[in-house]
Structure 1
Amino acid sequence: MSKKKAIQLVWIMGVIFLASCTGGTGKQDNSNKVETMEDAFLRSVKTCKVAYSNEEEELTLNGKVEYDPDKVISYVSLVNGIAERTFCSLGDKVQKGQTLLTIRSAELNSLRAEMIASESEIKVAQREWQTAQTMHADNMLSEKELLEAQAKLKQAQAAYDKIHNDISMYGVGKNNGSFSIPAPASGYIVDKNISSGSTVSPDSGPLFTIADLSKVWITANVYATNLQFVKEGMEVEITTLSYPDELFHGQINSLSQVFDPEEKVLKARIVMDNKSLKLKPEMSVVVKLKSEKQTRCTSIPSDALIFDKDHYFVIVETSAGKFTVREVLLKGHNGQTTYVASGLLEGENVVINNQLLIYTGLKEK
């Protein structure tokens, strides 16, 4: 620092401590410009009381966004056939019942023919049952024969119901022999392995996967060294590279009891509402949580600290407008909070702005 600048700084500090010595108790002379400036400076000084609380430690966990498995449906064809036409693309939003593709299948055509035949059998069995009831009432038919007619009707109805249930999974059959496959649930197409003209079979794997993304899981990795600080129900803050200025809030819903054999970590699950759809599956995230230790100590805002010659200091307001420098021994940091091992007492006021100016002035005094 040049000699001229040093003299100017000492002059400013001298003016500041002229005000601190008076403590604002004397009457001010409005014609004195220096006193008015110092009164304004003193009014701008902000302080904060020293707190006494449990020491908190902030943990940072790496994680990623995953599907809620209860809201994911994969469709696998139960019959052999050929995909005639597809009506959706990867990433499309679909509604339950919406047609996704049509399949031409000999097996489905056989089922449809069986259903038509079964409908005819039911009609015949119903007429026989009605005739049997009339004849039984006129004592022209035995009880045994009546029960046999009733059983035949029930068998025909059961056979029809089975075929109808089998074929209903494929939508409504068309006269040209193709069948439509409806979406089993509303959501987004997150995987698609079918195109027009492709062959399908029960062994061909999922043709498409639909996921409801209104709720997602965030899975965070918990190493053995951090396990003692992570508990179910703890509040967490989540950040992403895609939205660095936005915090997502949640809590740990469950903590696995078995270490992942490959990553050597436990998995903490956080169920998140995702109506905005900002959280995408497989997106990397950072999960932060605060863990309370059993020790209690004094704490102050980190902004109050002054670092000088390898030591930490704070400015303590001893009374209105009067200040003193206090060296402190630090215990740890947690974001904007600093934990103090010694040097401060609970309830004391520390300066949290312009403290460097006051510190320099006091050192020069």
Structure 2
Amino acid sequence: MTGRILLFSGIALAVTALGFASFMSFAHVGDAHRPVDATATKNTAADKDHASGKHDGDHSGEEDHAGESEGVRLSKDQIDAAGIAVAPVSKGRIVQRLVMPGVIAMDQDRIARIPANVVGIVSDLRKKLGDTVEKGEVIAALESREVAEARSEYISALVSFALQKTLYERDRALWQKQITPEQQYLRTRSAYSEARVRTDLGRQKLLALGIDARDIDALSKQAASAVEAKEGGASVDAVGKALRRHEIRSPIAGRVVERRVDLGAPVGREGQESELYVIADLSKVWVDITLPAADLDRVREGHTLLIRAASSKETAPGRVIFVSPVIAADTRAARAIALVDNPNLIWRPGTFVTAEIAIDENAVETSVPIAAIQRIEGEHTVFVRTPNGFEKRKVAIARQDGETAEIVSGVSPGENVAVSNTFILKAELGKGSAEHAH
């Protein structure tokens, strides 16, 4: 009886073992044809990486790809309100500049020192320091006996010339009709020629005294007035007073930078002041640049430059017009002069500036303004415009100057990037990263 029980127990155990093995075989075959769970696989791979000591920071390729897709979501109104300008990536020029100190000076070709060419007394000063002067404008007047005598001689020559001209024309007509002898006609012609020479000499003397040609031409009317006054027995004092007045005009347009005399001061004699005003045209100014001997061969006349004021953000373009061939013995430096337009008169002589001389220039196919580039996590980055805002894009930079950078990878020509106030986008990007970390 006991033997039968043991026999049935053994058979039952064998059947159970056979059923379990068949079940496991079926389960294994089913898994081979079942779809793989991606999440489970990913978690398993992550677990394996964690087990092997591999961390997220080791997946550099995956992070670079993820970093390139990072961006800042902004609407057009928000972009406009932040003052973020956008411009396309395009061709450009990289300029190598030599930075040198300089000082603004007056253009020596645009300075006029107004002299007193005659001996006299200052009777009128019409301009003060800083006043604007037009070319040909009367700026002062003198009372001068020398001018009165020269004008009187000229007026006398004009009167004599007019009389001799009348006699000459009459005698020539009579001689042609054989009414007057030829000898009388020749004497009249000689007197007429001498009167014309005296008139020309008187005019040249007035021009040498600094009297304007327009004032000289007006003396013909004064000559007629003098003749009428003499013929009528009237006094010519009124005419004489006008003859003594010597008006001085400005030869250039500009501003009064110096006034050298006062009202009533004697001028023109030896030991007396000979200059009345100094007028400068400051619409163009010079930049006096000091060039060390080592850099002298790198700067040429015709090179362009950009000047910057030390006390403000003002800049202006210019051009080198002179490089001295002589090196100063004490400073071992040479002098260079640049010409700069100054239409708004913001560059005042004596102002210290920095001159950035363009000594080399290269064209590049892909460039962006320096203001478009931000440094994020130690790498150069630009923000590319997208329909939803801006996308962060890592770029590689080759050559650059103070205004433009050459891009060799990261963006393509024609893509629009932010070129101003990019620090706002950098701040927004950092803010989003911080929120995501929490």
TM more than 0.5: yes
Pair member with larger Rg: 2
Match of 1:41 among 59, 67, 70: 70
Structure 1 residue 101: Cα displacement: 1.9
Sort the Cα spacing of 1:23 and 1:157 in 2 relative to 1 into closer, same or farther, 3 A. same
Q: What pairs up with 1:240-279 in 2 under 5 angstroms?
A: 240-241=309-310, 244-252=312-320, 254-259=321-326, 261=328, 264-272=333-341, 274-279=342-347
Match of 2:292 among 211, 223, 237: 223
Structure 1 residue 189: Cα displacement: 1.4
CA distance in structure 1 between the aligned counterparts of 2:404 and 2:191, rounded to whole angstroms: 82
Match of 1:347 among 409, 426, 429: 409
CA distance in structure 2 between the aligned counterparts of 1:200 and 1:14, rounded to whole angstroms: 91
**Does the residue aligned with 2:195 lie in a helix, a strand or coil?**
helix
- The answer to whether the aligner puts 1:81 opposite 2:104 as a matched pair is no
Sort the Cα spacing of 1:347 and 1:120 in 2 relative to 1 into closer, same or farther, 3 A. same
CA distance in structure 2 between the aligned counterparts of 1:18 and 1:226, rounded to whole angstroms: 46
Q: Which has the higher helix share?
A: 2
Q: What pairs up with 1:110-129 in 2 under 5 angstroms?
A: 110-129=149-168
Match of 1:288 among 356, 375, 394: 356
User: For residues 278-300 of structure 1, what are the alpha-carbon distances to aligned partners after superposition, in whole Å with 9 as ceiling and x for unaligned?
Assistant: 12223322211343399x9x999
Sort the Cα spacing of 1:82 and 1:22 in 2 relative to 1 into closer, same or farther, 3 A. closer
Pick which of 151-160 and 103-112 moved more: 151-160
Q: Is the 8 A contact 1:64 1:219 kept in 2?
A: yes
Structure 1 residue 98: Cα displacement: 2.8
Structure 1 residue 332: Cα displacement: 9.0
Structure 1 residue 148: Cα displacement: 4.3
Q: What pairs up with 1:165-244 in 2 under 5 angstroms?
A: 165-167=204-206, 169-170=210-211, 175-176=240-241, 177-201=244-268, 203=270, 204-241=273-310, 244=312
Aligned residues: 311
Q: Is the 8 A contact 1:19 1:39 kept in 2?
A: no
TM-score by length of 2: 0.56
CA distance in structure 2 between the aligned counterparts of 1:22 and 1:228, rounded to whole angstroms: 47
- The answer to whether the aligner puts 1:97 opposite 2:126 as a matched pair is no
Q: Which has the higher strand share?
A: 1
Which runs of 5 or more residues in structure 1 are unaligned? 1-12, 25-37, 45-50, 316-322, 340-344, 361-365
- Aligned letter for 2:168? W
Aligned to 1:320: none
User: For residues 150-205 of structure 1, what are the alpha-carbon distances to aligned partners after superposition, in whole Å with 9 as ceiling and x for unaligned?
Assistant: 34223212322332344363465964333222333332112221111111116533
- Aligned letter for 1:248? A
Q: Is the 8 A contact 2:318 2:338 kept in 1?
A: no
* CA RMSD after TM alignment: 4.9
Aligned to 1:10: none
TM-score by length of 1: 0.65
CA distance in structure 2 between the aligned counterparts of 1:267 and 1:131, rounded to whole angstroms: 68
**Does the residue aligned with 1:195 lie in a helix, a strand or coil?**
coil
- Aligned letter for 2:136? G
- Aligned letter for 2:126? F
Aligned to 2:145: 106
